[in-house]
Structure 1
């Protein structure tokens, strides 16, 4: 019976890793559509988000069934509850990738990226790609050295996000009001994507060490 239980736990773990990889793929496509005004790719991201939602729902149902039927001990209970929380964060990261793609679709055939902020958004995209790749690896390996790397990337994104708002609020801004809104929304999507990555990394750290370094209710 215990062997079956451990196999079920491993299945939940493997599903988390797979969802993270699906999110990474969605983000790659969303960024490409955002940067190149590729409406077909944007539509692909939007359509495929349902796959991430389905995988998250299936994982949650499996975890709840295990909780109800297996009566897990404290450490296993922590793993299952943590998995439910992490799957929600990963699903939200998928939603944010979809939002970026929707912004690209909305502005097609024009670009949603203000020319003056091209480098800023390119760096934000690079950092978010790094974060989700590290999150997927962290979920798979529990290598806690990745936690600090994820948090460092998030801190840089926070600075870039603040810079975007300073740029569009500055008197030297020459873009249209619509472009300013696009920039503000896109920056927020990239910033929140990183925040959810940090949230997942903290939960993995908690599962491994039993010590929490942040507010369990945040993100």
Structure 2
């Protein structure tokens, strides 16, 4: 029974890592769509987020079944509980990538942003993609050092977000009010995506060490 239980735990871990992989692919594709004003790429994001949601329910059900039927304790219990929470975090990451794609679809055939604003958002998208890749490694390895690295890497994304807001708030910025709204929302989507990868890392640290999540 315990061998079967751990096989099921491993399967849950693999499914969560796949959700993270798909979220990373979605945010990368959404960023490509943003900088290229490419509608087919934006539509591809919706396909990816649908795949994430198709995994959401089964993962959640599997974790709850393990709790109810196996009565895990200690680290096994933490792993199952962590899995329940991670499903929601990873689903939200996919949702944020979808919001970027929705902006592209709404403004097509025009670019949502341009110039330095688009350049900063492009860099934010690449940083978010890298964070998702690192989060996937963390989920697969349960390495607390890699998990800690997520927080440090997210600082780069936060710096870019602050730079974007400073740019938009500058009186000499040439963009319109709708463009400012679009850029502000996009920056927030990327910033929140990065925050969720950091939460993934914190949850894995809790899994491994039992230390409660820091605020």
> If the length of structure 1 is used for normalisation, what is the TM-score?
0.93
Q: Which residue of 1 aligns with 2:143?
A: 143
Deviation at 1:144, TM superposition (A): 2.5
Q: Which residue of 2 aligns with 1:102?
A: 102
Deviation at 1:213, TM superposition (A): 5.0
Assess if the C-alpha contact under 8 Å between 2:203 and 2:213 holds in 1. Answer: no
The number of residues matched between the two structures is 215
In structure 2, relative to structure 1, the CA distance for the partners of 1:10 and 1:52 (3 Å cut) is same
Runs (5+) with no aligned partner, structure 1: none
Distance across 2 between alignment mates of 1:132 and 1:98: 15
Say which SS state the counterpart of residue 32 (structure 1) adopts. helix
Distance across 2 between alignment mates of 1:174 and 1:92: 33
Deviation at 1:126, TM superposition (A): 1.7
Q: Which residue of 1 aligns with 2:130?
A: 130
Assess if the C-alpha contact under 8 Å between 1:24 and 1:129 holds in 2. Answer: yes
Assess if the C-alpha contact under 8 Å between 1:19 and 1:55 holds in 2. Answer: yes
Deviation at 1:25, TM superposition (A): 1.4
Runs (4+) of structure 1 exceeding 6 A deviation are: none
Distance across 2 between alignment mates of 1:156 and 1:212: 25
In structure 2, relative to structure 1, the CA distance for the partners of 1:144 and 1:73 (3 Å cut) is closer
Give the 5 Å matches for 1:1-219: 1-215=1-215
Distance across 2 between alignment mates of 1:148 and 1:72: 26
Runs (5+) with no aligned partner, structure 2: none
* Cα deviation 1:44-102 (Å, max 9, x = unaligned): 21233121012011100011111111111132111111111111111100001111111
